[in-house]
A and B are shown apart, each in its own frame.
Chain A
Amino acid sequence: AQSVTQLGSHVSVSEGALVLLRCNYSSSVPPYLFWYVQYPNQGLQLLLKYTTGATLVKGINGFEAEFKKSETSFHLTKPSAHMSDAAEYFCAVSEGEYGNKLVFGAGTILRVKS
């Protein structure tokens, strides 16, 4: 069965600093990988996804992630953090024939300091 591990339940960065949120997955089939963001009292919003093709994926709000098969990783980065990036971030891997049932990591809460 697929699984996702997010390293660090809390990450704190200064405004303008690099954001790096780590995600490792296990999957018995070629994975589809996703990052979601959740702001307080809201649902999850899709940031970006990897299905096939280019391993560096760009998403909304300046985020990007790189699929590294050899490391079974899909880390999320942003060159310069903004106060509005403070939220909880979830990595997910798909399972099922159509890749539409997601298994989520435990989440990482990003804090941005001014």
Chain B
Amino acid sequence: ETGVTQTPRHLVMGMTNKKSLKCEQHLGHNAMYWYKQSAKKPLELMFVYSLEERVENNSVPSRFSPECPNSSHLFLHLHTLQPEDSALYLCASSQERPAGLFFGEGSRLTVL
């Protein structure tokens, strides 16, 4: 069982669909993150949750909606996305100390 698990690994959706990405961490961490990885661009931090409260939202469009029901689970709800939202979405977790982030394997999203 990996430390950070993301589902689904691949998702194809139309611009009018509503879908969700799920992340679960088994490391006992208390902070979770969503990053976006697009081709030829640095990783972009989207959201940070610490102790289940959102502490960072980096000007992400409202068509992305995060949810953190407890310290082990993180969701990213998607609706009315655009083709430019196609990317690899990475979930990560950490403790509240500079130990670094532990990443899942990512969810590859394609918006048609």
Name A's B-contacting residues (CB within 8 A). Answer: 32, 34, 36, 41-46, 49, 51, 90, 94, 98-107
Contact = CB atoms under 8 A, between A and B. Distances in A.
Interface in B1-39: 4, 6, 31, 33
Interface of B: 4, 6, 31, 33, 41-43, 45, 48, 56, 90, 92, 94-106, 108
Contact of A42 (B43, B98, B106): B106
A99 B45 contact: no
A98 B50 CA distance: 11
Given A100-B31, A101-B56, A45 B42 contact: no
Question: Closest 5 interchain pairs by CB?
Answer: A99-B98, A43-B103, A32-B98, A104-B43, A44-B103
Given A90-B43, A105-B42, A100 B105 contact: no
A106 B43 CA distance: 7
Contacts of B4: 43
Contacts of A51: 98
